[in-house]
Every structure is written in structure tokens, then in C-alpha cells.
Structure 1
Amino acid sequence: MSNNAMVSRIENDRVLVLERVFDAPRDLVFKMFKEAEHLKRWWGPRGFEVTVCNVDFRPGGVWHYCMKCVDQNLGQFYGMESWGKAVYKEIVESETIIYTDYFSDAEGNSNDSMPSTEVTMEFIDLDGKTKLVSRGEYVSAEAVKTVMDMGMLQGITETWDRLEETLNEFK
């Protein structure tokens, strides 16, 4: 693993910005976000695996997935399923993905009791490496607090660690 730790900050009380540099070309990092076969290998925190992953990678398309806890060491989370849905708004190949991220159920219905997120992901070429910048805009500071209290920052850190491990397999 590289020494490129994730950097996070909150802007304007409701925008969570995450940044990390991956030692892989931009096209490859981007590809990891657009194809189900790749997402299934790394999406989710440690101890979870993606059991359902349907991707329609185009503006207006939907990514619907289920992460299931398969690690008995995670105690109360073992066996838990977490469903999510992303609706793509804009895609610029190898550069940008903009989508709305929702908690959902198995049928793809959004869970309106949980905050949705407007996400803009930028893939920046750094001479063979890639800086990934994710900006998640929430409706309020309370919504940011809700997801932070759920452990989202630790979860996304572990997810991006798994992404890096997957990218390393392509070297």
C-alpha cells in the first residue's frame, strides 16, 4: 500500500471532501468505478462483500448494489445487508462522475429517512498516478453528522484501501 492516505475535510458545514492519490493511471482508476466486475472486488469496508451489483453506467442510469457483512468478527454487523443506489447525472470518461447517492432497499426504492448525497468525483492525472477527489454535498450539517456518526468515514477509508489493493493487482 502507498503512503497516500486519504485526506478529508468538511466545507460549508455540508460538503464532505475526500482526496487520495492512487499509484495507478487515471483510465484504470476510472474503470474501477464503471464496471460491476471491478466494483464487486473492492466496494465496501473490510469484512463486507458486494452480493448484488447492477450497473447501468450512463447519465440517467442506475447503480444498485448490496453490501453484506461476511466477517463474524464484526459482531452485530455480521449478516447485515446494506443496500445502496446511485443515479448517474453526468459522466465525462476518465475525468468526472456526478451522481446522487441513496440508501435503498432490495427493490431499489430510496430510503427517505436517510440522507442522500450529491456526489462529484474528479479523476485528476498526475503523471501516471491519479488524484481522486470526491465531493459529497448533503442537504444540511445534520445530514453530514448522521453519516459521520454511522462510521461512514472509516468505511470509505477502508473501501479506498481495498480499491488501492485491487489497483495493485493490475501492476
Structure 2
Amino acid sequence: MSNQTMVHRVENETILVLERVFNAPKELVFSMFKEAEHLKQWWGPRGFEVTVCTVDFRPGGVWHYCMKCMDPQMGDFYGTESWGKAVYKEIDEPDGFVYTDYFSDAEGNVNDSLPATVVKMEFIDLGGGQTKLVSRGEYVSSDSLKTVMDMGMLQGITETWDRLEERLNEVK
């Protein structure tokens, strides 16, 4: 488990800012987000595995994935699949990237009934082998942000970033 705390705040009722410091160099933390083999090892909350993951990491490229609940102790969630699709808008390696995040189906069709998010990821070298990761997710409305918060997104991303830290510790 992490000894780092994720900080979150809401700005203008439509922007969710998440921040966390990782004990790994910036280039390594950045690489965890651009390579399918890394993403498969840590993306998603505990109890979920990435069963499908394709990454075309370039502006206009798509990341398409499926998270499947593999933990029988998670009750009704066990066996469920959650599909996502990201379309990269800007990439400034290793400082950051911007993408639009969507809920999707297995074919990559966007689910318009759930909110999309424009996400700006920033990787800040703090020196001493530490990197601050800042994620700014912008929603079209406060209701859209409330929808994902009510779905448990904050707990999910906290567990996801805990798993990212564990993965970083394995590979560094």
C-alpha cells in the first residue's frame, strides 16, 4: 500500500484535479501511461484486470481497453466488464499529454449516456527520483462530474494509482 496520499479538489464545479507524488523518475512514470504492457499490470481498481488493451500513443491515436472484475468477493461486480476509450489530443513527452476519455463498448463505440472527460496529465520532476503527477479532468457540467463521482470514481482512481505505485516499485 502507498505511503503517498492522493490530493483532490474540484475547481469551477466541473474540473477534478488529482495530485500524487510517486517515488520514481518522471520518464518512468510517463512510460507507464503509454505502453500497453505496463497499463495491463496496473490500470483499474483492485479486483479488476485489464483483459484487452491496445494503445496507439500519438495525437489522434486511440487507447481502447476492458477492465473485468475478477474478484468473486466483489459480489454483483464479479465478471462485469467496463470498456473505455481514450483519444489522444496532445503529447509532450515526458512532460504530459491530453486526451478525451470516454466510456465505450467492445467495438470502441462511445457510450453517450455517460460523461466524457478531457484529461490533462502533467508529470513534474521534483528531484531526488520523485515525480508529481497532476491530472485535471474537465467535464461539460457539474452534473457530469457528480455522475462519475457517484459511480465511485475517486475510490477507483485512488486504488488505480496505488497499483501504479506498486508497478513502479516492481520495475525500477
TM-score by length of 2: 0.98
List structure 1 runs of 4+ shifted beyond 2 angstroms.
Answer: none
- The reply on whether 1:56 has 2:56 as its aligned counterpart is yes
Task: Give the secondary structure class of the aligned counterpart of 2:171.
Answer: coil
The residue number in structure 2 matching 1:69 is 69
Q: How many percent identity over aligned positions?
A: 78
Q: After the TM superposition, which residues 38-117 of structure 1 pair with which residues of structure 2 at under 5 Å, given as runs?
A: 38-117=38-117
Assess if the C-alpha contact under 8 Å between 1:2 and 1:23 holds in 2: no
Alignment-derived partner of residue 14 in structure 1: 14
> Contact between 1:59 and 1:91, CA under 8 Å: does it hold in 2?
yes
- Alignment correspondent of 1:159: 160
On the 8 A contact 2:2/2:162 being kept in 1, the answer is: no
Q: Distance in 1 between matches of 2:60 and 2:93?
A: 15
2:137 & 2:83 partners in 1: Cα distance? 18
Map of 2:134 onto structure 1:
133
C-alpha distance in 2, partners of 1:39/1:3?
22
Equivalence for 2:151 = 150
**Residue ranges of structure 1 left out of the alignment (5+ in a row):** none
Q: Equivalent residue for 1:123?
A: 123
Cα distance between partner residues in 2 of 1:70 and 1:85: 21
Number of aligned residue pairs:
171
CA contact (8 A) 1:6 1:157 kept: yes
Q: Distance in 2 between matches of 1:162 and 1:2?
A: 9
2:120 counterpart SS class: strand
CA distance in 1, matches of 2:9, 2:80: 29
1:2 deviation in Å?
A: 4.4
TM-score normalised to structure 1 length: 0.99
Q: Cα RMSD (Å) of the superposition? A: 0.7
Aligned-partner Cα distance in 2 for 1:67–1:75: 16
Give the C-alpha shift of residue 97 in structure 1: 1.0
Match of 1:3, as an amino acid? N
